[in-house]
A and B are shown apart, each in its own frame.
Chain A
């Protein structure tokens, strides 16, 4: 005789083992058999309903602290800024205002927004702030999708609608027919329902309604609901309201998460100093808390203050020596300050910890090459090629080979082929265009080289190399006017570049003689 397990218990067990699809299937079955509780003392179907909402939420759950995607509208039509030009060292939007002894762009490549590239990408580091509307529309592509027009049309909405499309019977809970007031009275159901609406359906307005009614029902004494209200306000772009809710939640209960959310609000309002102070307050209550320390390090890094960012990352590692972000950032910092062999140790540590992806192997290969451990270089690159996920990564890995072939053994043909390959994989790769142009010029094809340089310059106006090269090339063929304009652009991108300044001086002398 077969003994069957109680379905609800089985579903709960599946949920704990994170077999969410099975859990949700069983709950669906229970709910189909008896949609409403017959016996009011047993809350079987209510429990099944709640468990199913939790399972569905867990499937698409992402850490709200990490999520930060700014749309074009929020970025360009900014209401919260007080002054047009912020004072140096007080804004995240003016990179380079506080040079904390970091390496120059001649050594360390820059991102679009003019910050040195970091060793770690998060959803919010990808974007950066473009200076002009044109740049905003044209350039930043985050995770192979274009930037959304507003954050309300971003990735979450697309994910939400997709999850509804794939469900043939329509959504599990029909939000428009839900009596939110009734649910807000039941604390045991309202929380799971809120998380379902917020994370799974991405319907922030309804989530806000529910949270507002629930917090009223709790007589404004429940910190959890206040934090949720703040999250909703943040998503809707009402930062000051979000700040109020988080502050009030902190009065009730000190929670690390609340500090992180509040700091996120301040970062969005472009008040990095306030955010830093807040993190320090948080550290008073939770000494050595890793997430708070990481937050401080990130802000320093975004303000271009690499040396103090590294200090804080080291503090993070003292608390948690398997923190991937801290290891990666310290490693890349060592690489760009001429210590590839130390960087290699950090990346090797990541490998030991079980990080296994294309980026790590390509970094290992690069560090090996510059630390003169040639035996490992090519095999690391090959591993990286095997682990590639998409075309952009493939292009990036292809670009690594020329470092060895061109800079190392002078094999121009291989370098040329690699650049061409990289361009075949990613048509917008400005670095590949620039390097290809240099090789073309060596072959004597001036027109070709010029065309590549112009392409590179238009694709990545933030890089100084294409502008500088174009300037040299134009000067050589006697086109002094375009040489001058290109040199000026190069100076904008990298003011301290000595060669550019010399070139500009020379050109000015020329013009003066004329």
Chain B
């Protein structure tokens, strides 16, 4: 590809004042890695779910009996 000579030249001012304004912007929450669960915790949660289910079933059965 032949080199095209640009008609624009960049200008870098050497004199004068440079002003810059730092505007605070809103921050988003950072990406969060999800922590892995320990075996004990998983077992606890599983047991709790099962227990809740069992109790629910039993209550349903009791309701049906009383009707």
| Interface bracket on A | 35 or more
- Please tell me if the beta carbons of A468 and B35 are within 8 angstroms of each other in the complex: no
Say yes or no: A118-B35 contact (C-beta < 8 A), given A67-B40, A123-B40, A503-B24: yes
Which residue of B33, B38, B55 contacts A123 across the interface (Cβ within 8 Å)? B38
Q: Please judge, given known A-B contacts A359-B34, A362-B34, A396-B32, whether A163 and B44 are in contact too, CB under 8 Å.
A: no
A12 adjacent to chain B (CB < 8 Å): no
Mask for A110-140, Cβ within 8 A of B = 1, else 0?
0000000111111100100000000000000
Stretch from A21-29, A154-162, A178-186 at the B interface: A154-162
Closest chain-A Cβ to B43's Cβ sits at a distance in Å of: 6
- B34, B45, B52, most chain A CB atoms within 10 A: B34
How many inter-chain residue pairs (CB < 8 Å) link A and B? Answer: 127
Known: A118-B35, A120-B36, A123-B40. Contact between A434 and B47, CB under 8 A? Answer: no
Residues of A within 8 A of B43 (CB): 62
Judged by a CB distance under 8 angstroms, whether A465 is at the interface is yes
Q: Closest A-chain residue to B38, C-beta based?
A: A122
Q: Is A431 an interface residue (CB 8 A)?
A: yes
CA distance A123 to B39 in the complex (A): 10
Please pick, from A109, A441, A472, the residue contacting B29 in the complex, using a CB distance under 8 A.
Answer: A109
Asked whether A166 lies within 8 Å of B35 as measured between CB atoms, the reply is no
Contact between chains at A435 and B58 (CB < 8 Å): no
Measured CB to CB, the closest approach of chain A to B1, in angstroms, equals 29
Do B33 and A335 touch across chains, with their CB atoms under 8 A apart?
yes
Which residues of B lie under 8 Å from residue A431 when comparing CB positions? Answer: 29, 32
> Are A434's CB and B34's CB within 8 A?
no
Given A162-B51, A468-B27, A469-B26, residue A122 in contact with residue B41 (CB < 8 A): yes
> Given B24, B29, B36, which contacts A119 in the complex, CB threshold below 8 Å?
B36
Q: Which residues does chain A contribute within 8 Å of B28, judged by CB atoms?
A: 406-407, 434-435, 438, 465
B16 CB–A CB distance under 8 Å: no
A359-B37, A441-B26 given as contacts; is B48 within 8 A of A155 (CB)? yes
Contact between A435 and B32 (Cβ–Cβ < 8 Å)?
Answer: no
Q: How far is the CB of A454 from chain B (nearest CB, A)?
A: 14
The reply to whether the CB of A271 lies closer than 8 angstroms to some CB of chain B is no
Tell me how far the C-beta of A402 lies from the nearest C-beta in chain B, rounded to whole angstroms.
Answer: 8
Contact A123 to B48, CB < 8 A, known contacts A463-B29, A468-B27: no
Q: In the complex, are the beta carbons of A121 and B35 less than 8 A apart?
A: yes
Which B residues lie within 8 Å of A67 (CB)? 40
Query: Looking across the interface, which residue of chain B has its beta carbon closest to that of A434?
Result: B29
Structural contact, B34 and A396, CB atoms closer than 8 A? yes
- Once the chains bind, are B27 and A469 in contact (CB under 8 Å)? yes
Task: Give CA–CA (A336, B32) in the complex, Å.
Answer: 9
* Among A47-55, A274-282, A324-332, the stretch in contact with B: A324-332
Tell yes or no: B13 within 8 A of A by CB: no
CB of B58 within 8 A of CB of A332, answer no
- What distance in Å separates the Cβ of B10 from its nearest Cβ neighbour in chain A? 28
B30 in complex: contacting residue of A109, A159, A328, CB < 8 Å = A109
Q: Does A236 contact B (CB under 8 A)?
A: no
Q: Using CB atoms, name the residue of chain B closest to A69.
A: B44
Q: Which residue of B lies closest to A145 (CB)?
A: B48
Interface positions, chain B 8-65, Cβ under 8 Å from A, are: 22, 24-38, 40-41, 43-45, 47-48, 51-52, 54-55, 58
- Chain A residues contacting B22 (CB-CB under 8 Å) are 502
Besides A366-B31, A472-B24, 20 other CB < 8 A contacts? Answer: A117-B32, A120-B37, A123-B41, A126-B41, A143-B48, A155-B44, A159-B48, A162-B52, A165-B58, A166-B54, A332-B33, A355-B36, A360-B36, A363-B33, A363-B34, A366-B33, A393-B34, A399-B32, A473-B26, A503-B24
20 A–B pairs (Cβ distance < 8 Å), ordered by A:
A62-B40, A106-B27, A107-B30, A121-B41, A143-B45, A162-B51, A162-B54, A165-B58, A350-B36, A357-B36, A359-B34, A359-B36, A393-B34, A400-B31, A403-B31, A406-B28, A434-B29, A435-B28, A499-B24, A503-B24
Interface residues of A (CB under 8 A from B): 60, 62-63, 66-67, 106-109, 117-123, 126, 143, 145, 155, 158-159, 162-163, 165-166, 324-325, 328, 331-332, 335-336, 350, 355, 357-360, 362-363, 366, 370, 393, 396, 399-400, 403, 406-407, 431, 434-435, 437-438, 441, 463, 465, 468-469, 472-473, 499, 502-503
Interface on B for A, CB 8 Å cutoff? 22, 24-38, 40-41, 43-45, 47-48, 51-52, 54-55, 58
8 cross-chain pairs, A with B, having the tightest CB-CB distances, nearest first: A162-B51, A66-B40, A431-B29, A359-B34, A166-B54, A121-B35, A122-B38, A438-B26
